[in-house]
Amino acid sequence: MDIMTFNIRLDVASDSLNSWKFRKDNAANMIHYYAPDVLGMQEVVHNQLNDLKERLPQYTAIGVGRADGKEAGEYCSLFFKTNRFELIKDGNFGLSETPEKIGVKGWDAAYERIVTWAVLKDKITGKKFACFNTHLDNMGEIARREGAKLLLAKAKELAPGLPIVITGDFNGTQDSEPIQIITHNGMKDTRATSPVVYGPSWSFHDFGRLKNDERDLIDYIFVNAPVQVNKYCVIKDTPENGYLSDHNPVLVNTTIK
């Protein structure tokens, strides 16, 4: 199973030639080319979600806007191949002291943060697994730490005993507290555990504006013990007429044991 995480960069006019209208076809074509079975995306606003659903009809898309639990604000959308997986159950929760409420800023966060999750069943093998997709806060250190803890607790609650995949933009490097919390509590960093690693060691480049030594890996795919990591890649593809996003996608090939 191929899994991708991709912060697509929200649609804002101030991005000028890097704005979504110039990137949407290339972003969709990249997804068509690599054809991940499951794809977690971040910073997806509603018109971007519609653009992607139109261009990627082979996928089922789930998720809600973080501002109201409906269509307002950024989504942490999950896409999965409709012909391969059956959706068993899904949902969303907030990363705050009141996770049952969407649209709440938790702890010291600058923005509302959410998790979109699903339990999927492979139509051929019958195997079930769970996916959790999120975007931790860019400003609040407490929010990132507590958000990571809450994410793990909810994963155990919602998908007990299942293989688990976590995708997202975690706004932290591999030695940061949230990543350490996740990897010391039953989840594996796919980059650190893959026998094959390809591509750059960073994922955020700010539309190419950052120098190489200023770029960090902040986008991750984590898996638990039943999921074997076969290959890992940070995709550095740059279309002829611009960028896919201000982040690189990350792609991992896995096997559920």
2-256 topology per CATH: Deoxyribonuclease I; Chain A (3.60.10)
Dig out the tokens for 193 from the structure: 């555990």
First to last CA, the chain: 11
CB 248 within 8 A of CB 200: yes
The C-alpha atoms of residue 94 and residue 226 are separated, in whole angstroms, by 27
- Residue 59 confidence class, pLDDT cut points 50, 70, 90: very high
The C-alpha atoms of residue 80 and residue 100 are separated, in whole angstroms, by 24
Dig out the tokens for 234 from the structure: 């940070």
CA 181 to chain centre: 18
pLDDT of 195-223, one tens digit each? 999 999 999 999 999 999 999 999 999 99
- Residue 86 confidence class, pLDDT cut points 50, 70, 90: very high
Give the pLDDT of residue 191.
98
pLDDT of 152-175, one tens digit each? 999 999 999 999 999 999 999 999
Give the pLDDT of residue 227.
98
Give the pLDDT of residue 28.
98
Which H/E stretch holds residue 134?
strand 128-135
Burial class of 46 by CB neighbour count within 10 A (0 to 12, 13 to 18, 19+): middle
Smallest CA-to-CA distance from 38 within 85, 86, 79, 88 is with 79
**By three-state DSSP, how is residue 208 classified?**
coil
Which H/E stretch holds residue 177?
helix 177-183
Angle between helices 46-55 and 20-34 (to 10 degrees): 40
Share of the chain above pLDDT 70, in %: 100
Smallest CA-to-CA distance from 249 within 50, 14, 23 is with 23
pLDDT of 91-132, one tens digit each? 999 999 999 999 999 999 999 999 999 999 999 999 999 999
Give the pLDDT of residue 32.
98
- Determine the average pLDDT of the residues in 137-143: 98
- Residue 237 confidence class, pLDDT cut points 50, 70, 90: very high
Average pLDDT over the chain, rounded to whole?
A: 98
Give the pLDDT of residue 242.
92
Write out the DSSP string of 45-60. Answer: -HHHHHHHHHH-TTEE
- Residue 23 confidence class, pLDDT cut points 50, 70, 90: very high
- Determine the average pLDDT of the residues in 16-27: 97
Strand-by-strand arrangement of the 219-223 sheet: 85-94, 114-122, 128-135, 164-169, 219-223, 188-189
pTM of the model: 0.98
CB 235 within 8 A of CB 252: no
- Residue 179 confidence class, pLDDT cut points 50, 70, 90: very high
The C-alpha atoms of residue 117 and residue 66 are separated, in whole angstroms, by 14
CB 63 within 8 A of CB 87: no
